Every structure is written in structure tokens, then in C-alpha cells.
Amino acid sequence: MVHKPKPAPLTALAAPRNQAAQPSVTFSADNARVTAELPTGEAVEVLLHGATVLRWRDGAGRERLWLSEAAAVDGSRAVRGGVPVVFPVFGTAPDHPQAGRLPQHGFARTSRWEFLGKSTSESAADLSVKLDFGLSSAAEGLDPTAAPLWPFRFNLIYSVTLSRESLTTSIVVTNDDDKAFDCQVLMHTYLRVGDIAAVEITGLDGASYVDKVDGAKTKTESSAPLTITGETDRVYTPAGDGSSPVSVVENGKTTFSVTRENLGNVVVWNPWAEKAAGMADFAPRDGFKNMVCIEPGAVGGWQSVEPGDAFEGAQTITLPQ
């Protein structure tokens, strides 16, 4: 007969009173999603398909990202909303010798990434949790249709860090091949807003941009904050190193401040009514009034990554307190 060990008394299992509560990390029953939550209520949920951040909840319980009610979260296509990862091409590049056959926005957002682990900050005063995800050319989860169109050995590490007042996403692209490759990287962040009519975007004044809804003409942003009053699709090259934020201001109050590391471009996108109506996975139809994409990326040209080298970039979205 097997003797079960006597259960330890509950008092012995309880955390010492002075030990601060720690972030929790849990998986959905089907292992398709991982959620990290701080003891103060902030939470982030990441779908392994695309390593797509689906939800980001602040300490007051508000969702801060826009996620389409019709988004596919079953791995059948890229997610409409949250933070899809764009790699190795932004849009399409039919004339590029290496990336020319890739589908729009590449294959990172349509591949199943692996969860590599979590780490938490030591400091109880500044508690944060980081989730790491990986995708490589050898991964089982690589999108089987897109991957052969970009035949390089590579390794991606994508990290999502949640703190009380910010969300950081960062990527490291390593070239494991014996030849150089060109790539583009972008974090396609759908920020949730209350009413697009009340939104101004600051931090782009004087920046040069390519206007994708006006024949890809190169223009210069004025000094006034940007407002969104129709379909908007612009690739900005803001001056500076990314430490001065691009901010979303709603009804005169800053609601998001986005800073960047080594991501020289910022795409501002809102499909507006007609384009949204043409997207089967965009719901509700007037959802364009509640979102604006502020997408930090390295997409103005190509990042040439030599064998053994890596490209790194990051965005931090801060919620002003």
C-alpha cells in the first residue's frame, strides 16, 4: 500500500506576511494564450499565434488596446487588433529581391511562437513581469506557406514587459545564416481611444512622412497636432532618437505616450469607414472611431543583418498617471 504523505499544515504554506505579492502567469486551457497579471490588477494577454498581445488592462480595469470583435484568434489568420508583430516585410515589397514574394506584413504574425519563459523584477516598488517568446526558421510553428518565400536561417526573441504604468515590447532578430539578409520590423499597435474625433497626436511636428493614401508622396507634418478625420496611412520619420514621445491626447488629456528604441519610423493608421467596411474581420463597423494604430518600426528602408549579427528594437507605451 502506498502511504500518501500527510499534507503540510496550511500555516506552513502561507507566504510570510512581509513578502510582497508576485505577478501571476497563467495559460489558457488550450495553451494558446498566456496571461500575466500584477497583484495591482494590470494584465496582459498574449496569443502564441503571432505572439500577438491581445489585451492590456490597466490598474483601473480598462482595456487599453483595441481588438476587433471579429478578430480570428484561432490561428487561421493574423489578429485584427492588439499588437501584431510585422516581420520581415512591412506591407509588400514586390521589387525587393529577397522579400518580394512575401505576403503583406510577413509571416511573424501568422506563425505560432513558443513561450520561452517569464521573469519578474526584483523591486517590489516597481513591479514588472516580462514574457519571452521565440520563433526561428527551424520552428514547428513557422507559417508553412510564407516561410519558404524567405529562405534564411534566423532567430527571433520577442519580449512583452508589463509594469504598473507601461507596456514594452521588444524584438531581437538574429541572423543565423551564412549570408546577409534584409528585413523590416514593426509593432502594429492598435491603441483604444474613446472617440477618434477628440484625439490629437503630438510629437510628429515637422516630421517627414510618406502618405500612403496620397500616391506615396513625401510630405512634412505641420507644427499642429495631427487629427484623424478620414482614412489615414502615413509612415513618419520623426526627428531624434525616439526618446521624445509620440503621444495620444484625448479631450486635452494625454492617454498614451509612445517612446522607441532603434525604431526610426512611426506609422499612423486608421482605416476609417469605407476601408473598415471592406475588412471581414473588422467589427464593429464603426470600431474605427475607437482606435488608432501608432506603429513603431524600422520600415523606412531595410535593415541589413550580417551573418551572426542581430537587430534590436523596442517600443514602450506609457500611461500617464
Q: Which is nearer to ligand BG6, 57 or 188 (CB)?
A: 188
Cα–Cα distance list, 304 to 174, 301, 316 (Å)? 11, 9, 24
Q: Is 64 known as a binding-site position?
A: no
- CB-based contacts of 239: which residues, under 8 Å, 6+ apart? 206, 207
Q: How far is the CB of 320 from ligand BG6 (least distance, A)?
A: 25
Q: Of 268, 272, 316, whose CA–CA distance to 290 is shortest?
A: 272
- Strands 190-192 and 310-318, by their bridges, are unpaired
C-alpha cell at 309: 549579427
Q: Is 104 known as a binding-site position?
A: yes
Q: Does 269 bind ligand BG6 (CB under 6 A)?
A: yes
Q: Residue 198 and residue 52: Cα distance in Å, rounded?
A: 28
| Pattern 64-103, ligand BG6, x by CB under 6 A | --------------x------------x------------
Q: Does 135 bind ligand BG6 (CB under 6 A)?
A: no
- Lookup result for grid cell 513558443: 114
SS3 at position 280: coil
306 is catalytic: no
Q: Which is nearer to ligand BG6, 231 or 261 (CB)?
A: 231
Q: Which of 57, 64, 105, 192 binds ligand BG6 (CB under 6 A)?
A: 105
Q: How far is the CB of 79 from ligand BG6 (least distance, A)?
A: 9
Catalytic member of 45, 49, 105, 188: 188
Q: Is 109 known as a binding-site position?
A: yes
- Lookup result for grid cell 514587459: 161
Residues within window 195-234 making contact with ligand BG6, judged by CB under 6 A: 212, 233
295 is catalytic: yes
Q: Residue 235 and residue 165: Cα distance in Å, rounded?
A: 27
Q: Which is nearer to ligand BG6, 198 or 280 (CB)?
A: 280
Q: Residue 145 and residue 76: Cα distance in Å, rounded?
A: 12
- Lookup result for grid cell 486551457: 29
Show binding-site residues. Answer: 80, 104, 109
Q: Write out the residues near ligand BG6 by the rule CB under 6 A.
A: 78, 91, 104-105, 188, 212, 233, 267, 269, 295
Show binding-site residues for substrate. Answer: 80, 104, 109
